[in-house]
Amino acid sequence: MRKQPNKMSTIPPAVRILPMDSQQDEFPGWSIEKVQTDFFLGALLLQSDPGCYEYRTQGLDAEPGTVVLFQFASQIVASAVLLRTERYEQPDGPYKGALWFAPNSIQVFKPVGTGVVRKHWPKFTGFSQVKWNLNSSRYPAFEHELLGIQRPAPPVPQAHDLDAPMRVQTTVSRILRDTQLTNRVKMLHNYECQICSHTLILADGSRYAEGHHIQPLGVPHNGPDVIENIVCLCPNHHAACDLGAIRLDPSELRQPAGHYLSQRYIDYHNKTIWQGPQA
């Protein structure tokens, strides 16, 4: 991440406060700093659709260009410009829809409390689950007061974080697709295997793990390249899954905030890939 100087912005069409529930599955017990670095400057950008913010209950009725101020732990911790809203026809796991933000507009800063917000919007009475609609003409002065603005720096390629497919030799020969989605899964798990919690520490001190598609990509399985179909594994358990040597039990897989596994793909593995006895 690199620090950026703040500057006076133009007046947006609207300014909204979006509450984030610190008790939801996505952020259980997270600190403000962790939400800022791991979510806003991490997971929200490291996905196939950067800037896609999925919601569980209600989204946000706002026009494109609206500046959204994210409220977490009774403080404003981040902001982004809304591109569009989407309500799913059918729920995607626990999610009912998504808000799409311009990736280059996402920024975090020193948390802002009630006093600063009320200074610019005197009618603001305090943080709650209310999605406040603020006077947008006062936003430039508010943004000018933000301290320690940080935006994501361009990614630096690493030896174990390649964009192009590569072939490696283990007990089987396979194509490793280190895409943004698999990188996001590995980051969410801190490069620790979801089965055994093991990680490889490389010579430069970085951590190594592999992303495995539960229902494999390509013929004959034709699994989708979606986060609900990807697990973070150590090389040994990756090979074991490829060879059908182990059965997957969702109750035994570590699933942290922000990573939902679809039972459909787990069932596919257990019925089609696993070589053990079927029930």
For residue 119, pLDDT over 90 is answered with: yes
Q: How sure is the predictor about 157, in pLDDT bands with cuts at 50, 70 and 90?
A: very low
The overall average pLDDT reported for the chain is: 83
Tokens read off for 174: 């396979």
Helix (H, G, I), strand (E, B) or coil at 258: coil
Task: Tell me what pLDDT residue 29 has.
Answer: 79
pTM for the predicted model, two decimal places: 0.56
**Model confidence over 173-231: pLDDT tens digits?**
344 444 677 888 888 888 999 999 999 998 888 889 999 999 998 778 888 888 889 99
**Model confidence over 20-55: pLDDT tens digits?**
876 566 677 789 998 998 889 888 887 667 888 888
What is the maximum alpha-carbon separation in the chain? 67
CA torsion, ordered 168, 162, 51, 97, to nearest 10 deg: -10
Task: Tell me what pLDDT residue 114 has.
Answer: 95
**Distance (Å, whole) CA 65 – CA 13:** 6
Query: Which of 68, 53, 55, 59 lies closest to 14 in space, CA to CA?
Result: 68
Tokens read off for 223: 């699994």
Tokens read off for 206: 């970085």
